[in-house]
Amino acid sequence: MEQLVASIQQQNRMLKLSFPDNNVPFANQMVANHIVATENFNQDFEFKIEILADSIDIPLKEMIGKMATVEMKRFDGSSRFFNGYIFSFKFLKNDGAYVRYEMVLKPWLAFLKYRQDCQIFQEKTLKDRSSRLFEKCINHDVAWNIRGEDPETTFSVQFNESDYNYLQRQWEAAGWIYWYEHRKDGHTLHIIDQSTTTNSIQNQNQELIWRGNEAHNTGVGVISIADQSQMSFSKYTASSFDFKSPDPLQAEFSSSHAPDQLTDLENYTYSGAYGFKDFDQGKNDLVSRSQADFALNNQKFMVANDAYAEIGHWFKLSRTGGEEKEYLVTGIQHSAGNNYLFETERETAQYRCEMTCIQRDVPWKPILYLNSQMTRIYGLQTAIVVGPLGEEIYTDKYGRVKVQFHWDRLGKKNEESSAWVRVATAWAGSNFGMVSIPRIGQEVIVQFLEGNPDRPIITGSVYNEDNLPPWDLPNNATQSGILSRSSTGATIDNANAIRFEDKKGAEEVWIHAEKDQRIEVENNESHSVGVDRSKTIGSNETVSIGADRTETVGNNETISIGVNRTETVGSNETINIGANRTETVTGNETITIQQNRTKTVVANENANISQNQSVSVAQNQSTSVGQNQTVNVGLNKVESVAVAKALNVGAAYAVTVGAGHALTVAGAMNTAVGLAQFEQVGLAKNVSVGNSYNIDVADKFELQVGSASLVLKSDGTITISGVKILIEGETLVQINGNDVDIN
């Protein structure tokens, strides 16, 4: 082995191996024998290098992750480099003279394949999201040339996928192109969005020489070229849907690349919700897809031995008898070997490359999922509803909420944890349907439209240990219903609810309004109660009926009013009672009738007044008794008539006074009796007349006291009779007449 070390030298060789960071064991005992370097647009480069070493003890594990560079001398003496990180280092064989290893180099971006994460990007451009993931890589070197639009994305999810896959699928969807440029101490990732902005190869005249017509291909240049053309679509169509503009969007683009006779080869794709915001964006996406297909189906495959050929660069080529054209290298595989001498075998150092090219003026775009897989979330997930500190309900005009996914390690469980997420409901229409906004802290069920992690939608909610059902289970397993929670700052006792009890024999519907309850019926309302009904109102009740009201009580009705009652009837009131009625007023009762009142009692009426009764009639009062009327006054009765009083009795009139009877008339008093008048005084009767007293009798006037009598007749006869008649005149007794007969 010591002789081998002395004989294997890298000076003046085509391939020279180095380790820029000087951190590789046995570095001075390894040389590069052969390299196969594969590079393609939008893919990791892969450099497979055969290593010759004089030690079998190289620690394979310690080689992984180290930077290595292979410098290749061109035939003009200039250098080009193949730089990368060691992702594989394996022992091949030991043939006694030397030890062979294989080393595989890949770009720094490939480290992101070994970083898998779940996270949410919000309000970030693709460049911002890319740069954020690049920060995790060692020695990341990026050159950007994005000339088109790079809008902020509201919501983008990386879920159970590597950082690498996330970036690849995002770049492919955006139509971004990337490749690497190498130097001795590193490599630069170039990211562009227009392939026509690339640079030319680095030789002086930007040209590769056509050597295909030379017999032995003695010079450097392009040795062979093969054209390709394949079938492609004639039309591209895509549709999408945005709930903020709920008419499905559709974009179309007709390609001119398909054969003229095949015009119905349509590629129709439903891009899912929010696939593109408007027709122009949708059409641009379709143009990119068309360009990707066309470039793929119209490639040129070249073989060359000029080491100036480089991916991501264009060159001029003039074929024999043809015009000069410019070609862009989209993929290349370099193959080079040193001319180390082993025993009697001598090999000449060689270089060869196989290129995939397109004409420079043909736009190149990546095919979707060329180097990635679309992440899908199938099935259900749950998440926790979040919002600002101190809030209980956080929503927008669409009823959307924010959530914190269980897998999100970066979210702060606040309104920044996610974008607005739509909430499914059992019924949703134009200003009608069902609304129940998930509240902060609730665990909700989340699905994803078409499985797209960027399109979450809440489809339900579930209970957990922090949020238990509103009634105890399983003890109340027969109960179902809805119970809300008052907000903000309410306790477990503050809620609106409707509950159904389905236990056999104890069925119940319970409705609870924490504060007010409003029931509106546009037309008719019917209530039917099979047995009893109890209604309790803690304070006031107001019932307003626009037209008629009919209330029927089949048996008894009891109304108890604790304090006052006011009843107002705008027009008429009729009360019909089939049997008896008892009305008891504990204190006072006042009845006011603005106009007339008629009271009809078919049979008898008794009015019992424990103390006093006052009847005040502003004008006239008439009392009509069909038969008899009895008025009993326990003590005194005072009757005062301001002007006149008339008493008409159709037949008999009797006044009985138990003790005294006084009649005082301030002015005149007239008594008219149609037939006869009888007056009986038990003891004495005194008549006192202040002035004159006249008695006018039409026929006969008789006055009798015991055995004495006085009779006056209409014919002028006066008869005085008695047992003894005494006539005394203190001054004079005078008797005058034509005839005076004194017995």
Predicted local confidence at residue 234, as pLDDT: 73
Per residue in 405-439, pLDDT (tens digit) is 999 999 999 999 999 999 999 999 999 999 999 99
- Exposure of 107 by Cβ count < 10 A (0-12 exposed, 13-18 middle, 19+ buried)? buried
Least confident of 243-247, 336-340, 351-355, 403-407: 243-247
In a domain, 638, yes or no: no
Q: How far apart are the first and last CA of the chain?
A: 210
CATH of the domain at 94: 2.30.110.50
Structure-token match 């003790």, residue found: 659
**Amino acid of residue 183:** R
Q: How confident is the model at residue 2 (pLDDT cuts 50, 70, 90)?
A: very low
Q: Which of residues 447 and 559 earns the better pLDDT score?
A: 447
What is the 3 state secondary structure string of 401-456? EEEEECCCCCCCCCCCCCCCEEECCCCEECCEECCCCCCCCCEEEEEEHHHCCCCE
In a domain, 396, yes or no: yes
- Characterise 186 by phi-psi region: left (phi > 0), alpha (psi -120 to 50), beta (else): left
Q: Which of residues 178 and 248 earns the better pLDDT score?
A: 178
Least confident of 119-128, 280-289, 384-393: 280-289
Alpha carbon distances (Å) from 585 to 566, 582, 651 = 14, 10, 40
Predicted local confidence at residue 259, as pLDDT: 66
Domain count, the chain: 3
In a domain, 149, yes or no: no
Report the candidate in 43, 63, 47 with the shortest Cα–Cα distance to residue 55. Answer: 63
What is the 3 state secondary structure string of 540-586? CCCCCCCCCCCCCCCCCCCCCCCCCCCCCCCCCCCCCCCCCCCCCCC
Could you tell me which residues come within 8 angstroms of residue 157 by beta carbon, excluding any fewer than 6 positions away? 118, 119, 120, 121, 375, 453, 454
Give dist(CA 208, CA 200) in Å, integer.
11
In a domain, 45, yes or no: yes
The vertex-303 CA angle with 300 and 306, nearest 5°, equals: 120
In a domain, 630, yes or no: no
In a domain, 372, yes or no: no
Predicted local confidence at residue 260, as pLDDT: 65
Predicted local confidence at residue 344, as pLDDT: 41
CATH of the domain at 453: 2.40.50.230
In a domain, 548, yes or no: no
Per residue in 585-618, pLDDT (tens digit) is 777 878 887 778 787 877 777 877 777 777 777 7
Alpha carbon distances (Å) from 86 to 25, 139, 659 = 13, 14, 142
Predicted local confidence at residue 668, as pLDDT: 73
The two tokens of residue 2 are 């010591």
Predicted local confidence at residue 343, as pLDDT: 46
Question: How many of the other CB atoms lie within 10 Å of CB of 371?
Answer: 17
Predicted local confidence at residue 413, as pLDDT: 96
Q: Most confidently modeled of 128-142, 627-641, 658-672, 709-723? A: 128-142
Mean pLDDT within 466-475 = 94
The DSSP call for residue 26 is T
Domain stops at, among 77, 109, 141: 109
Mean pLDDT within 258-280 = 72
Q: Most confidently modeled of 5-14, 381-390, 553-562, 728-737? A: 381-390
Q: How confident is the model at residue 95 (pLDDT cuts 50, 70, 90)?
A: confident
CB 332 within 8 A of CB 311: yes
Domain stops at, among 429, 462, 495: 462
- Residue range of the domain that includes 45: 2-109
Mean of the per-residue pLDDT values of the chain: 87
Domain stops at, among 109, 131, 150: 109
- Characterise 297 by phi-psi region: left (phi > 0), alpha (psi -120 to 50), beta (else): alpha
Give CA torsion, residues 373, 377, 378, 382, to 10 deg: 170
**Amino acid of residue 166:** Y
Give dist(CA 72, CA 70) in Å, integer.
6
This prediction's pTM:
0.74
In a domain, 65, yes or no: yes
Q: How confident is the model at residue 743 (pLDDT cuts 50, 70, 90)?
A: low
Least confident of 230-244, 325-339, 422-436: 230-244
What is the 3 state secondary structure string of 622-691? CCCCCCCCCCCCCCCCCCCCCCCCCCCCCCCCCCCCCCCCCCCCCCCCCCCCCCCCCCCCCCCCCCCCCC
Predicted local confidence at residue 9, as pLDDT: 72
Predicted local confidence at residue 385, as pLDDT: 98
129: helix, coil or strand?
Answer: helix
Q: How confident is the model at residue 465 (pLDDT cuts 50, 70, 90)?
A: very high
Predicted local confidence at residue 495, as pLDDT: 92
The helix (H) or strand (E) run that includes residue 510 is: strand 508-512
607: helix, coil or strand?
Answer: coil
Alpha carbon distances (Å) from 394 to 240, 297, 384, 487 = 29, 52, 13, 12
Give dist(CA 62, CA 152) in Å, integer.
42
